[in-house]
Amino acid sequence: MAEVLERTEPYILAESIAFLFSKTEAGIEKEVTKLMRLPYSKLEAIYIEFFEKGRME
C-alpha cells in the first residue's frame, strides 16, 4: 500500500515537479517520494527553475 503523504506546501511542490517526469499515478508517487527527501529550499529552487523555463504554469 502506498504511503499517504500530507498535502503540505513541500508535497505540493514535489507533486508538481513529479508530473513533469511521469504520467502514471505510480510513477508520480515514486517521484514524489524521492523529491520529498530533498530540503524545501531545493524543491523550491527546482520548481522556480522549471517555472522560469516555461515548463510550469
Cα 25 to chain center, whole Å? 13
Predicted model pTM: 0.78
Q: Which of the 8 DSSP states describes residue 4?
A: P
Report the C-alpha dihedral over residues 36, 1, 24, 53, rounded to 10 degrees. -10
Residue spans of the domains in the chain: they are: 23-57
pLDDT at 4: 55
Q: What percent of the chain has pLDDT over 90?
A: 74
